[in-house]
Amino acid sequence: MDMLWNELHDLFDDDDGGLYDIWITNLTPLAIVNIYTLLCTAASIIPNQPTFWDKHRDQVRALESVPNAAQLVVNDEAEPFHFLVQGIVFGNVILPDLGVFVSPDMITLDYRKGPEWRSTTLHALFDLFAQIQRNEPAAKITLPDMVLPTVRQRFEQALTHYVTQGPQQDVA
């Protein structure tokens, strides 16, 4: 049995119609720009032509109309924005759709629980987190404050173990 899935499946497998957040905090402005770039580069599709509010032009602009919209957010030239990424592949596994919210001090990923989440997709998500941690060692990847502390701690411990020890399988 897969230890990661066994530990965290309840956070991913039962579609109750809600969207759930994962916070990436303790980021420098450059780290926010770099993580945004990683997510956009890794995605095969960014649907619906997402937009952001450009404060200087006082207008809505397409994300693709600028080299890096996250740079504008951290420079206080644009409002925080949300968009959807599809087709991110890690470890030859396609992740389910992820929402991405870019703000001046953090990035929030959101996901819908459901059958598309299984052991392989959870490992792929944690592979993404491991890459973020390698690229941005100060980053803290956690669940929101409103999540029960025991659940948040379980998530953080599983992530720390995954990043430091790699994926673990139970020995049968």
The whole-number pLDDT of residue 1 equals 55
How far apart are the C-alpha atoms of 6 and 21, rounded to whole Å? 20
The DSSP H or E segment spanning 141 is: strand 140-142
The whole-number pLDDT of residue 133 equals 96
Which regions of the chain are under pLDDT 70?
1, 168-172
The whole-number pLDDT of residue 168 equals 63
Q: What is the pTM of this model?
A: 0.93
Place of tokens 């409002």: 79
The whole-number pLDDT of residue 172 equals 38
Percentage above 90 pLDDT, the chain: 90
How far apart are the C-alpha atoms of 118 and 112, rounded to whole Å? 13
The whole-number pLDDT of residue 165 equals 86
SS3 126: helix
How far apart are the C-alpha atoms of 172 and 164, rounded to whole Å? 23
